[in-house]
Amino acid sequence: MTKPYDAVIIGAGHNGLVCAFYLARAGLKVRIVEARDVVGGAAVTEEFAPGFRNSVASYTVSLLQPKVIADMRLADHGYRVIERPISNFLPQEDGGYLKLGGGLERTQAEFRKFSARDAEVLPQYYDALENVAGLLRDLALKVPPNVGEGLRTLIDGLTQGRRFAGLSLEQQRDVLDLFTKSARTMLDSWFESEAVKAAFGFDAVVGNYASPDTPGSAYVLLHHVFGEVNGKKGAWGHSVGGMGNITRIMAKVCEAAGVEISLESPVAKVLVNGDKAVGVKLVSGEEIAAARVVANVGPKLLYERMIDAADLPADFRRRIKGFKAGSGTFRMNVALSELPKFTCLPEPGEHHQSGIILAPTLDYMDRAFLDAKAHGWSKAPIVEMLIPSTVDDSLAPPGQHVASLFCQQFAPELPDGRDWDDEEEAAADTIIDTVERHAPGFRASIVASTRLSPKGLERKFGLIGGDIMHGNMTLDQLWAARPVLGNGGYRGPVKGLYMCGAGTHPGGGVTGAPGHNAASVILRDRGLFAPRWR
């Protein structure tokens, strides 16, 4: 066994890198072990055809915490995000379209094409959403109260609940709506236009194997609006160089702080001696001793595949077995000879630099989910297209483009014993057909493509069931109950074992918050109470 490290981190995804940075900055000796031959986890950029590069899984920026960006000084090393001119563009079935974003007045003008009333209530809707989003921003970098810690649980709960208690009655009702209601029920109470409801409702099914009618889906909508880009709340943008540029910079900062990063070093198991985690054993046979093991992998992968069942409490094993993981995501990248020409808006424009949503109504989204449950995938899937080469010419040859296709709904496990390896190509054809209906000639413009089914996402990135969030974002799996009540404070059920991935609070997305918060807990447990961690 190697000379002991203060911490060994499983996985060089962005949260693992963030956690490593804070630990190393505090003086700990840290080593990261990564299964793949590149850092970044699901936030990576790869060349998939000669001259064509793109983000492979995660593909857009908003939720990365400003504090993490500042502390790691990412901008000093080339971190740059270009904002979308408008948020989203939604072609409609009647040949029209809706544009969302670009400022309140401009969005209201768009909404008036569909409903004067919806345009009128939009400011009140934004205010209601922002009040709750502000609450989430405030909680994102706070460690949830860990049930079972007596007085500390009470103090932490009261401290974090103070912000909620300070909301008005109407604002508290908005919180309740967003955490418990379906996206449709919530949006129906505000808007009358189906196009407008679809524009907002899309966020409720991103990475969520659910219908907009599923209770609790309104929260997933909210989870995607509490970020910011370049100081603008709720904005989204493109990372120049792709998402892999962010994690490449993070790795560079970590190494400068003394972190060791070992690539092509998959973990076979977490080593436990008595009731304490003491290191990891790699698939190669190498054993790495560490005072603490920090897992930047999902709870399902960690507790069901990397730790002997006998090393975990029986009740905890049962709870983890019931932990829900698996999203309906199918991810494609396509190299294009030209920009897609949408029937409703064929000429090049700002809509090509936005999120292009091919899901015109909530009913369309509901049918996609029901179809996937019955048959394995939707015959009319939900597709979000981004074309980052319109703002970043480093990704494609001159005059050509790359597009990300982020698609729902595709069952994590196919029914009737079918295998995604056998059906991935047919599913990808269905996605291309869906785009073709809105932009004739799209198929002919494809130079090359890649595809990742839910199984492909699991195989490539360790995302169980293709779950980009490391676990469903439902009320029973949030905050102090993520992943399990009593272990929601980044500490595992074994001494010396910690979690720092998206399977902990505040959940999925490229946020850096779990890594930041886990580091604060580790340093507190070690007795390092620097003021920045209070």
Which of the four pLDDT bands, split at 50, 70 and 90, describes residue 133? confident
Which of the four pLDDT bands, split at 50, 70 and 90, describes residue 72? very high
Angle ∠(498,503,508) on CA atoms, nearest 5: 130
How large a percentage of the chain has pLDDT more than 70?
95
pLDDT value at residue 530:
44
Q: Determine contact, residues 30/296, Cβ cutoff 8 Å.
A: no
pLDDT value at residue 178:
82
CA-to-CA separations, 202 to 197, 355, 360, 363, in angstroms, rounded:
8, 11, 9, 11
Is pLDDT at 532 greater than 80 in this prediction?
Answer: no
Per-residue burial over 444-479, b if 16 or more Cβ lie within 10 Å, else e, is ebebebbbbbbbbbbebbbbbbbbbbbbbbbeebbb
Q: Is 28 exposed, middle or buried (0-12, 13-18, 19+ CB in 10 A)?
A: buried
Is pLDDT at 95 greater than 60 in this prediction?
Answer: yes
pLDDT value at residue 262:
98
3-state secondary structure of 308: coil
Which of the four pLDDT bands, split at 50, 70 and 90, describes residue 524? very high
Where are the chain's structural domains?
7-45+63-81+240-323+469-525, 112-235, 326-464
Q: Determine contact, residues 94/195, Cβ cutoff 8 Å.
A: no
Q: Is 124 exposed, middle or buried (0-12, 13-18, 19+ CB in 10 A)?
A: exposed
pLDDT value at residue 148:
66
> What mean pLDDT is predicted for residues 503-520?
95
Residues 326-382: tens digit of each pLDDT = 989 999 999 999 999 999 999 999 999 999 999 999 999 999 999 999 999 999 999
Q: Which fold has domain 326-464?
A: Guanine Nucleotide Dissociation Inhibitor; domain 2 (3.30.519)
pLDDT value at residue 233:
82
Q: Across all residues in the chain, what is the average pLDDT?
A: 92
Question: Six-digit token pair at 190?
Answer: 């505000």
pLDDT value at residue 534:
39
Name the residue with tokens 């294009």.
Answer: 336
Is pLDDT at 5 greater than 90 in this prediction?
Answer: yes
Count the neighbouring beta carbons within 10 Å of the beta carbon of residue 158: 11
Residues 219-273: tens digit of each pLDDT = 888 776 777 788 888 888 999 999 999 999 999 999 999 999 999 999 999 999 9
- Looking only at the bridges linking them, the beta strands covering 45-49 and 30-33 are unpaired
Question: Which distant-in-sequence residues (6+ apart) come within 8 Å of 534 by Cβ?
Answer: none
More reliable by pLDDT, 53 or 155: 53
Which residue, among 235, 205, 509, has the nearest Cα to 330 in the 3D structure? 205
Is pLDDT at 483 greater than 70 in this prediction?
Answer: yes
Angle between helices 104-112 and 116-140 (to 10 degrees): 140
Query: CA gyration radius for the chain?
Result: 22
Q: Determine contact, residues 296/250, Cβ cutoff 8 Å.
A: no
- In 362-441, where does DSSP find H-type helix? 362-375, 420-438
pLDDT value at residue 222:
79
- Please give the class, per CATH, of domain 7-45+63-81+240-323+469-525: alpha beta
> What mean pLDDT is predicted for residues 445-461?
97
More reliable by pLDDT, 174 or 335: 335
